[in-house]
Amino acid sequence: MKVFLTGTDTGVGKTFVTALLTESLRRTGIQAVAVKPFCCGDRADIDLLRTASNKVISEAETTPVWLPSPVAPSVAARLEGKCVSLDSLSSWFHRLSHTYPVIIVEGAGGWLVPINDSDTIADLAVRLDLPVVPVVANRLGCLNHALLTLECIRSRNLKCPGIILNTLAENSDLATQTNAGELSRHTRIIMEITHGQREIPPHDLAEFLEAVNSSTDHQAPQLADAGTARNFS
């Protein structure tokens, strides 16, 4: 199983959700790893994803492109005199696919963030041909961001099994209380992450795997009833 987690914006908790999902899957016996093609700024995200993957994957495998400036990948690369191609990222991912059967790919920023002069995160997801699950920050304004992202994903003929709604703040307001109901009119909410959550329950993991499995031709791993993983290929 391979899946692409994108964001509806920067700061929506993509890395946190990716790490939480990876750690929770590994606790069931599913040997998932988390990767992030681009990291711009400090390397904290790389460390977090490697820790979630139990450090079975190297830094270079986790993130092939690290750029020190905390801006969009295209800008950060330009500042370093570099240009990252979709061909190089595609080669990186397909090498990983031969080693790691379950990969969660985290995008950078939002869906249309540029990675070079002509390509965006969306183009990378198209090249990798993975089902896409947006992480949506549960806050005022997320309805517009989420629906725009969903429409754009579908316009690329990519499978989108649903969204993950991530609550960032401890105190809720009317928007955070009603966003799930409104979004569920337009898409499936695969899971909701609450503020401070440290593990994903088996039921939610099973729903995530079922949703991804339903959107791909490849069999996704399944959770066993006892909380351990069944065999998968």
Active-site residues, by number, are 36
Neighbouring-strand partners of residue 192: 165
For 132-144, letters b (16+ CB in 10 Å) and e give: bbbbbbbbeebbe
Whole-angstrom distance, CA of residue 146 vs CA of residue 233: 33
- Determine contact, residues 76/68, Cβ cutoff 8 Å: yes
Amino acid letter, residue 201: P
State the DSSP string of 152-208.
HHHHTT-----EEEE---SS--HHHHHHHHHHTTTS-EEEEEPTT-----HHHHHHH
- Determine contact, residues 126/57, Cβ cutoff 8 Å: no
